[in-house]
Amino acid sequence: MSIFPVYCTAQVPILIIEKFLTDALNGSNKLAPGSEPSLAIVTAANGVPTTASSPPLQPFTSPFIGQSVEQISRQFNEMAHFSVLDERSTEDETAVLVERNSDDSIHTVRVTFGSSQSLLTALDVATLGFTEIQNIATSSGGVYGKNHPSPQEGQLAPRKRLGGD
């Protein structure tokens, strides 16, 4: 199984990072029971961990605070897919998934904590495309995996989408 790096570009509290790891693994287990952790929090600028991170974590200061996904991608150009926890992650429990293409172009999409690991795994084994994830996120208010409230009695039902979630 692949290990996917997770970079913090803001000062994210350890409890939020641990919630991210827990929710991501739980989300993966909903789709594929028995899933193993595959997200590695990168705590040093000199390389990517080779084993997945699991709570509890030791406090650390991220060397990537204030960096863009493009800057991180240039530093670690061997990674095709990775995740970023940023300032917004502390507010709405979302992360940024990043794809670096062979032409060095960068694509991003915001996803819920619970969908992070399963999406990275799907991208790794090519069962889902990044553009497809972006399209679903766009149709879901900008965040993949975000739940929409159910329509209330007397209100219009949502339009049916073909091939969606």
- Output the six-digit token pair for 133: 């994830």
Q: 4 vs 78, which has greater pLDDT?
A: 4
For the beta carbon of residue 96, count every other beta carbon within 10 angstroms. 19
C-alpha to C-alpha distance for 4 and 28, rounded to whole angstroms? 14
- Output the six-digit token pair for 112: 């819920």
| Per-residue confidence band for 77, with pLDDT thresholds at 50, 70 and 90 | confident
Q: What pLDDT was estimated at residue 104?
A: 87
Q: What pLDDT was estimated at residue 78?
A: 81
The answer on pLDDT for 79 being more than 90 is: no
- SS3 for 26? helix
Phi and psi dihedrals of 99, rounded to 5?
-125, 130
C-alpha to C-alpha distance for 146 and 158, rounded to whole angstroms? 15
Q: What pLDDT was estimated at residue 98?
A: 97
Exposure of 145 by Cβ count < 10 A (0-12 exposed, 13-18 middle, 19+ buried)? buried
pLDDT, one tens digit per residue, over 99-137 is 998 888 999 999 999 999 999 999 999 999 999 999 999
The DSSP symbol for 64 reads T
Mean pLDDT for all residues in the chain: 91
pLDDT, one tens digit per residue, over 53-64 is 999 999 999 999
* Apex 12 CA angle, 11 and 15, nearest 5: 145
With tokens 């594929």, the residue in question is 32
8 Å CB contact between 100 and 77: yes
- Output the six-digit token pair for 162: 């073909």
C-alpha to C-alpha distance for 103 and 88, rounded to whole angstroms? 28
The answer on pLDDT for 145 being more than 90 is: yes
Q: What pLDDT was estimated at residue 27?
A: 96
Task: Provide the whole-model pTM.
Answer: 0.87
What average pLDDT score do residues 41-68 get? 95
What average pLDDT score do residues 58-75 get? 95
- Output the six-digit token pair for 123: 């991208």
Q: What pLDDT was estimated at residue 162?
A: 63
